[in-house]
Amino acid sequence: MSVIRRIYGWIDNRFDVTPELEKNVTKKWVPRTLSWAGCFGGLAFFTFLVQVFTGMLLLMYYKPHPESAWDSVTFIKSNVTMGWLVQRIHAVAANLMIALVLMHMARIAYYKIYRTPRELHWVSGVLLLLLTTMMAFTGYLLPWTQLSYWGAKVGTEIPSAIPIIGTDVVEWVRRGKAISGETLGFFFSLHIWILPAIMSAFMGMHFVMIRRTGISKPL
Q: Where along the sequence are the contacts to ligand HEM (CB under 6 A)?
A: 38, 40-42, 44-45, 48, 101, 104-105, 108, 113-114, 118, 121-122, 125-126, 128-129, 132, 203, 206, 210, 215-216
Instruction: Give least dist CB 111 to ligand HEM, A.
Output: 7
Burial class (CB in 10 A: 0-12, 13-18, 19+), 73: buried
CB-nearer residue toward ligand HEM: 133 or 145: 133
CB-nearer residue toward ligand HEM: 46 or 61: 46
Instruction: Give least dist CB 203 to ligand HEM, A.
Output: 6
CB-based contact 159:169 (threshold 8 Å): yes
Instruction: Give least dist CB 77 to ligand HEM, A.
Output: 27
Instruction: Give least dist CB 99 to ligand HEM, A.
Output: 12
Of 167, 34, 162, 46, the closest CA to residue 97 belongs to: 46
Distances in Å between the alpha carbon of 94 and those of 1, 15, 66, 127? 36, 36, 23, 17
CB-nearer residue toward ligand HEM: 44 or 192: 44
CB-nearer residue toward ligand HEM: 74 or 95: 95
CB neighbour burial string for 149-162, b if at least 16 within 10 angstroms, e if fewer: beebeeebeebeee
Instruction: Give least dist CB 20 to ligand HEM, A.
Output: 19
Residues 6+ apart with CB under 8 A from 209: 118, 120, 121, 124
CB-nearer residue toward ligand HEM: 37 or 91: 37
CB-based contact 111:216 (threshold 8 Å): yes
